[in-house]
Amino acid sequence: MDKSTIEGLTKKLQDLGLLEKQALDTARNVPLATQYISFIESPTASTASTPIDKSKASLLLRWSTVVVSKLKDKSTERKQIGAQHILNGNLASPAQVDAALEFLSVGDGTVDEELFKRECGVGISMTKEEVKAIVMKYVASSEKAKESKWASLGKTTGELKKLAVLKWCNPIDLKSSVDESFLELFGPKDAQPTCTASSKPAPPTNPKPKKNGGSDSNPTALSASKETPAAAEPPSIFEVGMLSQLYPPGGNPQKDPKLTQDHLKATGGKVVTRFPPEPNGFLHIGHSKAIAINFGYAAHHGGKCILRYDDTNPEAEEQIYIDSILDIVRWLGFEPAQITYSSDYFGKLYELAEQLILIDKAYVCFCTGAEIKANRGGEERGPRKACVHRTLPVETSLAEFRKMRDGHYQPNEIILRMKQDLEDGNPQMWDLVAYRVLNASHHRTRDQWKIYPTYDFTHCLVDSFENISHSLCTTEFIQSRVSYEWLCHALNVYTPRQTEYGRLNLEGTVMSKRKIMKLVNEGHVEGWDDPRLYTLIALRRRGVPPEAILKFVNSLGVATAVSNIAIHRFEQTVRQHLELSTPRLMMVLKPIKVTISNLPDDHLEFIDRPVHPKVPEMGSVRVPFTKVIYIERDDFSTVHSEDFFRLTPERSVGLFQVPYPIKCNSWEIDPKSGLVTELVCTYENDRAVTKANKPKAYIHWIAHSETHHSPVKVHETRIYKTLFKSTNPASLDNFLTDVDPNSLEIVHGSMLETGFWSVCERSIRAALLKHPSHKSDSETKRNVDLEAVGLENVRFQGMRTAYFTLDKSSSLHPLVSQHSLPESQDHSPPLFDHHSPQNQLVLNWIVSLKEDSGKKIG
């Protein structure tokens, strides 16, 4: 179809109610566009005017899609009845449209209008008030809800969804009605015992310094992993939107009702989903959405999710990817109910391929790739024509296929193709390849096979074998739904229903394996886990908590539209999560030595302070304050300015949690670099701090005390910025020219307060306690290698600077190679020798503080 024809059709579809993108996508699919237009222009259509209402247009497009793909062999009456009720406003929700599809796909006789209306909720609409009344009555009478209150919110919502009386209500009305009912019956959620945000005592303020005594920390009180929600969480993606409206198990119609019965018997009527990655690369942030949806949907409904490796391409698959995928799934907090491989079914798939040949639905083809492309219409998308091998006798195709299996052919000499429908406008029906020859050893089956099934042949059938109730995938597979169902129907096996959602893309980065490989191979990044990338192993190394990633996915919701999200939005979610879940430490990125001249050489006092002012449960640390301290280079200026409120020759500055300010008397400058290297200051303890003379700013600091091993020295601090200069580097002809050469800054000589070791110990111990070995019942369950958990679990806020984590290249000298884990954090021996010269800390920048922090970094 030429460009002008597509533009004209797009304009007409827009005039008939579709949004611009909907119209353009539909115009490229002529059968779908024709069907949509015919429904509206039908003499029986009751559309009083055009364009029709946008919501009706979306539902009608949904109906037209299923008519073209699933009801094309049904009578005109059956196709028209659904469209007519949509245009009349009697089928007003996706759930009602899906119910109409299920009803009308069975049989082909005259439709029982009354039965149709009853089964599909025709004309049923509920006001928010009606929904609220039913919900309130149900919750008020639920003993479980009365007992558990807000803790039962999710379970109660799930039960309400199953009520017949609420089958056709608006899911958003249902969600808000549940929330309102719980609020009225049980009070605010924040008042519940499980909430820690509003019921906490106020943190201590202005702690008094203690003279010459005490330890450098309070490890039994410090809880680095304590998390408090920063704000109300958005509704679960499984309680609102498209995922809340999916059919129950067994609700996907089958050609033979017995297939449904067998399926439900195999699954026990439970939800079964799968996450099916190809083990040919590392997962990226887009995969986190697929993981969250598939594992989360199953968990939400009390079902199970299978991790299935789609290992049908031995030329690209490696064990390192298999191990990494499972590791990432577990890191995100999910545990597969089963771990399977497509290769588990190679024998069964081969048998079905032979069966497909025997029923004349597959044939061998000797065409070259160029010939296949030309037969499909070529670049100009011209007329399609059948391959010359399409009419080969069944016996010939079967014999040649067996020769393929037995190694008589080389790659690209022969393929097995499905005999589909060349007249269909969908390219996924143009005789797809089912099997090809590959001279590669498979990571599991080794050299057993010379031929391997394609994704298009394997995916749907393995979904069928594993009795997947909900096949959830991204919208790039919408066209594949037709071929998916065609193959299952052709072989008369159980047909899962495929449901598509929009994929997650981040602006300002690249996620294709080919492009990342180029970045790695040409030395632009350190590796696949370089923290500037958005692979999940890179985000993990960067210190991004898995909970923050899941919150980010949930905050976006789930719809069919592709999510193109700016990086700063992702970073904001990470920042919000870290705000109340990580301890705060004093850190000096680029230190200047400060000698306080009027303090004695042996001056020592201790400052007790909470590691988080808003979360007292995290405990406190005790740090020394001495004659010599270090402050941040940017906190001193040799030139006085009215808008610079930190230390200058004419302005005193307060020291965080220290009773009195300091005043600068003199400074030294390195003649080579021109940078200030040392200050001499006075401790202004000869006057009381009043409201009138209170310093305008307080800065963080770190004391020098060899006795207390202060400061804790940092070997390297790595400050990461966006890897690319533009928001869409993937669209550039040479995306490598867009790499920012200044995206990584390495700072040497940074310093941390001694409280770091308390945070480090608590963080690693908390991660060890969560390790699967700790949950085992074996006698040796708690003997876990310290390397079993990642150093990225050590996260903290460098006050007024940024959030940081330990990089995997750090060296912490362990006191033992294995640690016998306690049941709790209390009274635990140290894991590391805090004073070992072998310790070498490397910090990774996770994310900046709020943009209005008032602190310039670097």
Choosing from 308, 503, 609, 651, the catalytic residue is 503
Choosing from 12, 62, 384, 513, the catalytic residue is 513
407: phi then psi, degrees, rounded to nearest 5: 85, 20
Name, in order, each residue with C-beta under 8 angstroms of 478's C-beta and a sequence gap of 6 or more: 500
> Inter-axis angle of helices 128-141 and 171-186, to 10 degrees?
50
User: Is the separation of the CB atoms in 356 and 362 below 8 Å?
Assistant: yes
**Cα–Cα distance for residue pair 125/103, rounded to 1 Å:** 19
Bond into 711 cis (ω within 30): yes
CA dihedral 644, 647, 648, 651 (to 10 degrees): 90
Could you tell me what percentage of the chain is helix, strand and coil, using 3-state DSSP and rounding each to the nearest 5?
Answer: 40, 20, 45
Name, in order, each residue with C-beta under 8 angstroms of 724's C-beta and a sequence gap of 6 or more: 508, 509, 510, 735, 738, 739, 740
Question: Is residue 196 exposed (0-12), middle (13-18) or buried (19+ Cβ within 10 Å)?
Answer: middle
The yes-or-no answer on residue 503 being catalytic is: yes
User: Is the separation of the CB atoms in 625 and 656 below 8 Å?
Assistant: no
Beta strands of 743-853 (E only): which ranges?
A: 744-747, 751-752, 783-785, 795-798, 802-806, 818-820, 842-848
Q: Which helix (H) or strand (E) holds 789?
A: none
Q: Residues 289, 331, 812, CA angle at the centre, nearest 5°? A: 140
**Cα–Cα distance for residue pair 35/779, rounded to 1 Å:** 66
Name, in order, each residue with C-beta under 8 angstroms of 589's C-beta and a sequence gap of 6 or more: 632, 633, 717, 747, 750, 798, 801, 857, 858
Name, in order, each residue with C-beta under 8 angstroms of 307's C-beta and a sequence gap of 6 or more: 274, 275, 325, 326, 329, 336, 338, 339, 340
For residue 661 the two structure tokens come to 């300010």
Measured over the CA atoms of residue 525, residue 531, residue 535 and residue 537, the dihedral's sign is positive
CA atoms within a 13 Å half-sphere pointing along the CA-CB vector of 470: 31
**Cα–Cα distance for residue pair 290/293, rounded to 1 Å:** 5
**Cα–Cα distance for residue pair 467/496, rounded to 1 Å:** 7
**Which residue blocks in 466-562 are alpha helix, DSSP H?**
480-490, 513-521, 536-542, 546-556
DSSP state of 502: P
User: Is the separation of the CB atoms in 831 and 814 below 8 Å?
Assistant: yes
Length of the chain: 858
The residue type of 47 is T
Question: Three-state DSSP class for 54?
Answer: helix
User: Is the separation of the CB atoms in 497 and 489 below 8 Å?
Assistant: no
573: phi then psi, degrees, rounded to nearest 5: -65, -45
**Cα–Cα distance for residue pair 266/255, rounded to 1 Å:** 18
Q: Which helix (H) or strand (E) holds 122?
A: none
DSSP state of 713: E
Choosing from 180, 278, 547, 716, the catalytic residue is 278
The residue type of 596 is I
User: Is the separation of the CB atoms in 746 and 783 below 8 Å?
Assistant: no
Measured over the CA atoms of residue 833, residue 835, residue 839 and residue 841, the dihedral's sign is positive
For residue 457 the two structure tokens come to 């042949």
**Cα–Cα distance for residue pair 468/687, rounded to 1 Å:** 75
For residue 225 the two structure tokens come to 């992993």
Catalytically annotated residues: 278, 503, 513
